[in-house]
Every structure is written in C-alpha cells, then in structure tokens.
Amino acid sequence: MKWRAHVFALATAVSYLGFGAAVPEQSLREAARSSGLLIGTAVRPAPLSEAAYASTLAREFNLLEPEDALKWEGVHPEPQSFDFSQADRVVDFATRHDMKIRGHTLVWHRQNPKWLTEGKYASGELAQILEQHIRAVVGHYRGKIFAWDVVNEAFDELHPGELRSTIWRDQPGIGLAENGNSYIERCFRWAHEADPQALLFYNEAEAEVLNPKSDAIYAMVGDFRQRGVPIDGVGFQMHIADLHADVASISANISRFTALGVQVHITEMDVALPVDPNGSPRPEDLQKQADIYRQIATACLSHPGCTAIQTWGFTDKYSWIGSHSKQRQGAALLFDRDYRAKPAYAALRTALESGRR
C-alpha cells in the first residue's frame, strides 16, 4: 500500500494554517536559519501560562523581548527597590527555548514611576539615579540579555532633528554637560561597563526612512563611533499605521547606518489595519499587510548588517494597537486572535526562506 505511505508523509509534512492554505511545515525560526537573521517578538509574562501562546512562541521565534516588564515603572517601582520577577519569567522562557533576549529599555520618557518623574530631583541626583538604574538592571541580566535598547525615542518629531524635552535631557543633560546628547553618551558608557559583552542599541520611532529624525540619529551615531562611544546598533521600531511603507527609503536608511559599522535591528514591527467594531479587518487589507511584512523582511535581508526582525507581539489577541488607536485599528500581527497564521505569516516566512547571506 505504497500510496498510503505517501499520503501519510504528505499529511505530516503539510499543515493547514488558517485561511485554508496548505503550507509546508517550517516555522519562522527554521526559515530564518539559512540567513542567520534573528526573528523575534515582544512578549508579555502573563500569557506565558497559556498553552497556545507559549507553544507558538517557542515554535516560531529565536529572539524575545519583554514588551513592558523592563521599563522603569515595572522594574524600579520604588527608589530603593527593583522588581525583576516579571522580566525574569520572559528571560527564563527564552533560555529554556534557546532564544536570544533583547532588553527594552533603560532610558525613555514614558512608563516611568511617579517617584521619579515627580521627585523634583536636582540634576546631579537624577544623573546618579539614572546611573544606578542602568548598572543594576544591566548587571542583573549580564550574560543573559545579548542586546539592550539603551535609549529609546530621544529625538523629537515636532522639532525635527532636535532632542525631545524629557526629565533626562532637561536634567542630566544639563547637569552632566551643556551640550545636547551628552546624556545619551553617558548612558551608553554606563551600560557598557555593566556588561561589556552586551550589544548596545539606540532605538527610535518614525526614523525608518530618510528624514530629519533619522538624519539627526545618523549624525549622533557617526559621532559616537568616531569617538569610541560604545554603540553597536540602531533599532528601527517599524510601527506601520497607514498600510504604506516607503521600502526604497527604508533600504537606503538601513544602508547608510550599517555603513557606519553598526547593526540594524527592526525592533517593533506591526502593520495596523482598520477594523470593524468586532475587531475584524477587511480581507484585502490582510493581503496588503502581507506584502508589507514581506517587503520589509526582504529589505532587511538585503543588508548583511540588518541582523534581526522583531514584531511587537505575535497574536492579535495581545497587541498594543487596539488601545493605542482607541480600537479603530488592530489585526496588526502575524497570527489572529485564535493563533491562526495570517497571510502576513506566510509572506514573512517566504521572504525568510529565500534569504541567503
């Protein structure tokens, strides 16, 4: 009964992933093996106890990043105490499943605890608090977190090319030195001392394309590299909210940054779709979304220095887009709310499979 064996082999080699399409059984992390690209996602600790969440995560990705658990309000809730319990759950999961871990983020103007933002600290005190925070958090994960977003979103979209006004820029920036981004430089040096092996990234929103913001970051990174400030990479978030990606400009931007000798990671990709009151997108938008995932992956793969693609969550069940858009948008990720692969999943995997380095 040879045909039976064939049918059986075919059935095991093929799985039916959503939308009725038969696809070969290869996960994203397997598909990424030929190129060596890291394929990652942001992770929340609570749903790790949900079987479908944990098994999809373990099967598909080789890189994880706690979505919120390492931000100040979670990890440093009181001036004198740190709480690593939530981030540790993500780190333990990643370690058990042979995944790399990105850390996000040491310096940001959002999700900071009130004791910090309302503490009315003098410049010198705030600089000291920042230094201690960076040394404690990076030190706790020394040898475990392979790459850190040291500073997140320091440049301002309203004043192109200028640093955003934050407690950090306004206080330690002035307190430590008079000129602009010296506080960013200090943060990279502290992080490097706390874990000399960790790769240190500057992470930013809306700087994926050639624009005044990415120009300013490019100038800063070029200066840091020239003066030996320990920066290893730049993260481009890649939150796409209008079903449009200027891939030529993104590719040119990746090209100029990697030419500075730093790596590029795509750190927070999602492609938000308009959704009806039930949270359902239009079928034609799912195809457009798939094209964008494929094009971005292909652009990254065409530059040897673009070494990771990470999505901001992986199931539409857990995504920041709903609340961020007042429920007008959603369905931004690779799997639907029932963990069925969407067209974007297949498109991304096809791009990963054809990537050679």
- C-alpha span between 80 and 206 (Å, rounded): 35
84 binds ligand XIL (CB under 6 A): no
Is 185 labeled as catalytic in the residue annotation?
no
**The two structure tokens encoding residue 299:** 């652009």
**Which amino acid is present at 346?**
A
Let me know how long the chain is. 357
Please report how close the Cβ of residue 268 comes to ligand XIL at its closest, in angstroms: 6
By CB under 6 A, residue 320 contacts ligand XIL: yes
Q: Tell me if 185 contacts ligand XIL by CB under 6 A.
A: no
Residues in contact with 81: Cβ distance below 8 Å, sequence separation at least 6, in sequence order: none
Residue 29: CB atoms within 10 Å: 21
Rounded CA separation 152/71 (Å): 11
Q: How far apart are the first and last CA of the chain?
A: 43
Residue 41 interacts with ligand XIL (CB under 6 A): yes or no: no
> Which of 60, 65, 67, 232 forms a contact with ligand XIL (CB under 6 A)?
67
Among 237, 307, 311, 315, which residue sits at the site for ligand XIL (rule: CB under 6 A)? 237
Out of 68, 88, 170, 291, point to the residue binding ligand XIL (CB under 6 A): 68
**Shortest distance, CB of residue 266 to ligand XIL, whole angstroms?**
13
Return the H-helix or E-strand segment holding 291.
helix 283-301
Q: Is 125 a catalytic residue?
A: no
Give me 13's structure tokens. Answer: 């080699």
Binding mask 188-207 for ligand XIL (x = CB under 6 A): -----------------x--
Among residues 67, 153, 185, 204, the one annotated as catalytic is 153
Contacts to ligand XIL from residues 150-169, by CB under 6 A: 152
- CA dist 326 and 351 (Å) reads 32
Q: Which of 50, 63, 49, 60 minimizes the C-alpha distance to 95?
A: 63
The answer to the question of residue 315 lying near ligand XIL (CB under 6 A) is: no
Q: Does 73 bind ligand XIL (CB under 6 A)?
A: no
- Residues with catalytic function: 153, 268
Question: Using CB under 6 A as the criterion, which residues of the chain lie in contact with ligand XIL when the complex forms?
Answer: 67-68, 152, 205, 237, 268, 320
